[in-house]
Structure 1
C-alpha cells in the first residue's frame, strides 16, 4: 500500500513555495552587513585609544621624577603636585591663563556679533567684506604673530608710524609688561574673530523673517529687536563659538610663545608655557605634566558646563 504524501498543516507555511524560500534567503544576513557598524566605528575607536594611551602615560609620569637629564626615574607619588601647589609661579600662571582666556573670548564674541550684524546685508560692500574677513583664519597663528611683530616695530612698523601721527611715540607693544597682554589680545582677536563672525552670521542668515517683520510693524526699536529676538535665537550658535574659543584660549601657546615667549619676565606665563618651560628648558618632564593635567581639568569643566547650557538653550530656542 502506497504511503500518502505528507501535506502541510494549514497553520504552517508551505516550505516548497518560492515566496517562502525568498523570505528564508533574506533572513540570512551576510557577514559584511553584520560587521558594517563595527567597521564604521573602528576609526573612532582607534582614535580614542590613540588619545587615551598618551593621556594615561601623562598621568603615570606625573607621579614620577622623570627627567630628560637622567636615564632612570622613580615613583614619587603626589610630590610633584604638592611642589606645584606651593609654587607662586603656578598661581601666577593660572591667573594669566584665566585672564587671557576670559578677555580674549569676550573681545572676540563682542566683535564677532557686531561685525556679523553689519555684514548681514545684501550689498556689494557686505559681500566683499565677508570674503576678506576670512583671510586671517587661513593664516597660521605663528605667521600672523611674526607679521604683527613687523607692523609694531618702532623703526619700520606701519602701526608705530600710524600712532606717531596721533602723537603716540615709541609705543612698547609686547616689550613692556603693561602692554604685553594687550598686544597678544589684539593679535588673537585679529586671527580668531572671523571664526566667531562666520558662526554668528550663519545663525543670523537662518533666522525666520516673520518675527522681525512683526516687531518692525509694532514699532520695536533696533535694540529691542536685537535683545528680545535676535540674541535668543542665535544663542545656540553663539555658545558654540564661545565654547570653541574659550577652550582654545585656555590652551593658547603659539601666539604668546612666538611674540614674547612668556615675557617680559613672567608676564604672559600661561599654564601651557610654564609646562613647556619646565619640560624642555629645565628638562623636568615629571614636574611639567601636572601643569598640563590641571589645564585639562579647566578645559573639561568649562566645556562640560558650556555644553550643558548650550543643550538647555537649544531646547528653549526650539520651544521645548
Structure 2
C-alpha cells in the first residue's frame, strides 16, 4: 500500500468546538445595571408620593370631576378650623402613645424573664411569636368574635367576675381599650424579640464584675442593663411608633373608626374621605400631614440613637 493511500485512510483530527460567545458587560455599565432594582423601588415610591402631594393641593372630588382645580393650600388651611381633623390628630397620638408604651413595658419584662439561654426559654420565645405571624386583620376579626356580647369567650369570662353586658368595641368608653388590647396581643412579641436579642448580645464583663462586688440587681438594671440596652429600646420604639401612628387594619376591622369618631385615626379618616366621600384632595392632604409627622418623629429618634452610639464608643 502506497504512502498516499495510507495518508488518505488516516483519521482526520477532531477540531475542538469554539467556545460560545459570552455577552461582555463593561465595568462602567455593570454598576448601573446592579443599581436598577433600587432605582425602580425609588421610582415606585416617588411617583405615588408626588401624585399625592399634587392631589393635596387640589379641590378634587370624583363625584365632581368638572370642578377639579388647584386651591393650593386651602385643604391644609381648612384643617386649622376643622374639629374633625383635631379629633383625628388627638386619637392617633393617644392610640400610638398608649400602645407603644404598654408594649414596650411588656416586651421588656418578657425579654428580661427569657434572657437566660435555656431550651425552655427558647421554646417559650418561639411560642410567643405566634401572634406576630397572624395577619392583623385576621387577629382583629378573631378578637371581634371573642368580644361578641352574645357568644364571645371574653364576654363570658368578664361576666364571671360580675361585669354583665360589657360592650367592648361598640361603646365609646371601651372601644379604645379593645383595639389597644388587640394591638398589644399582636405586636408585643415584636418588641420582645428585639429586646431579647439586645439583652443576649450585651457583654458579660460588667455583669460579672457587679456580681463579684455584690451590687443589688435593681442597681445593675438601672445603671448597667438599661443604659446599654437603650439603642435597642429606641429602635423598637421607633418601628412601633411609626407603625402605630399609621394603624388602619386593626381599627377598621374592629370598629371602622367608630363608634362615631372615637377611633378615627389618620389612615381610617383618609380611607373614608377617599372611598365614601370621594374627596381625594382632603384625603391626600391628610396623608401628607401623616407623612410629615412620621418624618419628624423618625428624625428625632434617629438623632438620639446616633448620640447613644457615639457615647457607647
TM-score by length of 2: 0.89
Shift of 1:39: 2.2
**Alignment: residue pair count:** 289
Judge which range, 248-257 or 127-136, deviates more.
127-136
1:115 to 110, 116, 122: 110
User: What does residue range 222-261 of structure 1 map to in structure 2 within 5 Å?
Assistant: 222-261=217-256
Aligned partner of 2:216 in structure 1 is: 221
- Give the superposition deviation at 1:246: 0.3
- Residue 137 of structure 1 aligns with which residue? 132
User: What is the Cα deviation at residue 51 of structure 1?
Assistant: 0.9
For 2:43, which of 49, 55, 68 is the aligned residue? 49
- 2:70 matched to 1:70? no
Counterpart pick for 1:201 among 192, 196, 202 = 196
> Which residue does the alignment assign to 2:296?
301
User: Are 1:104 and 2:99 matched, yes or no?
Assistant: yes
Counterpart for residue 13 of structure 2: none
Mapped to 1, the partners of 2:144 and 2:299 lie a distance apart of: 36
Q: Residues of 2 paired with 1:298 and 1:133: CA distance?
A: 31
Partner of 2:168: 173
| Structure 1: 5+ residue stretches without partners | 1-29
Q: CA RMSD, aligned part only?
A: 1.4
Q: Does 1:264 align with 2:274?
A: no
Aligned to 2:35, the other structure's residue is in SS state helix
Offset of 1:225 from its aligned partner? Answer: 0.9
CA distance in 1, matches of 2:166, 2:120: 33
Give the whole-Å Cα distance in 2 for the aligned partners of 1:308 and 1:183: 34
1:253-283 residue CA offsets vs partner (Å, 9 max, x unmatched): 1100000011011000011111111111111
Deviation track 1:4-49 (CA, whole Å, cap 9, x = no partner) reads xxxxxxxxxxxxxxxxxxxxxxxxxx85332232222221122111
1:172 Cα offset (Å): 1.4
Task: Supply the distance in 2 between the matched residues of 1:289 and 1:146 (Cα, whole angstroms).
Answer: 28
Q: Distance in 1 between matches of 2:250 and 2:101?
A: 18
Alpha-carbon distance between aligned partners in 2 of 1:246 and 1:225, rounded to the nearest angstrom: 28
Return 5+ residue gaps in structure 2 as ranges: 1-23
- What per-residue deviation string (whole Å, max 9, x for no partner) do you get for residues 105-149 of structure 1? 111111110000111123443222111111111111000001111
In structure 2, distance between residues paired with 1:40 and 1:214: 49
Cα shift readout 1:211-238 (whole Å, capped 9, x = no counterpart)? 1111111111121111111111111111
1:153 aligns with 2:140: no
